[in-house]
C-alpha cells in the first residue's frame, strides 16, 4: 500500500530552537494532516491542509501543503519543553477514504 516517508525520525534540540520536519509520498494527496502524540495519549490534530500551496499556522506551528500535492512540512518556532512528543503526518489520497500515516518524528527538547 501507499507509504509516507517522514523525516527526520528523531530530533534532539535546545529550547528556543526552530524545528522542521516533512513528509513525502509517491501519490497525490487531497488532504495533509499533522498530529502530535504524547506518551499514552491519543494523537491530537494540530493542523489540517486541504489545498495545494496552502500555508496554515497554529500558534508557533506552521504547515504547508506542497504545490505538487506529494509533500508537506511542519515547522515549530521557538521550541519549548512541552513540544516534546511524536509528530505524525497523515494524508488522504484522491481516491481513498483512509488516512496513510508517516512513521513519526520523535522530538526531544532540552531545557
Partner 1 sequence: DTEVTQTPKHLVMGMTNKKSLKCEQHMGHRAMYWYKQKAKKPPELMFVYSYEKLSINESVPSRFSPECPNSSLLNLHLHALQPEDSALYLCASSPRTTGDTQYFGPGTRLTVL
Binding site for partner 1 (CB under 8 A): 30-31, 33, 35, 40-45, 48, 50, 86, 88, 90, 92, 96-99, 101-104, 106
β-strand partners of 81: none
Residue nearer to partner 1 on the CB measure, 13 or 86: 86
Query: C-alpha angle 110/18/47, rounded to 5°?
Result: 105
Q: In sequence order, which residues have a C-beta less than 8 Å from that of residue 21 and are 6 or more positions away?
A: 6, 7, 8, 11, 73, 74, 87, 89, 105
Considering the complex, state which of residue 47 and residue 109 has its C-beta at the smaller distance from partner 1.
47
Cβ at position 96, least distance to partner 1 in Å: 7
**Quick one: 10 or 57, whose CB is closer to partner 1?**
10
Amino acid at each position: 500500500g501507499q507509504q509516507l516517508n517522514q523525516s527526520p525520525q528523531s530530533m534532539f534540540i535546545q529550547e528556543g530552537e526552530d524545528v522542521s520536519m516533512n513528509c513525502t509520498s509517491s501519490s497525490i494527496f487531497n488532504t495533509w494532516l499533522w498530529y502530535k502524540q504524547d506518551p499514552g495519549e491519543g494523537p491530537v490534530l494540530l493542523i489540517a491542509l486541504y489545498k495545494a500551496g496552502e500555508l496554515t499556522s497554529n500558534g508557533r506551528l506552521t504547515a504547508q501543503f506542497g504545490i505538487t500535492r506529494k509533500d508537506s512540512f511542519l515547522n515549530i518556532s521557538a521550541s519549548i519543553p512541552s513540544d516534546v512528543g511524536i509528530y505524525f503526518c497523515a494524508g488522504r489520497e484522491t481516491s481513498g477514504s483512509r488516512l496513510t500515516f508517516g512513521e513519526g518524528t520523535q522530538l526531544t527538547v532540552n531545557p
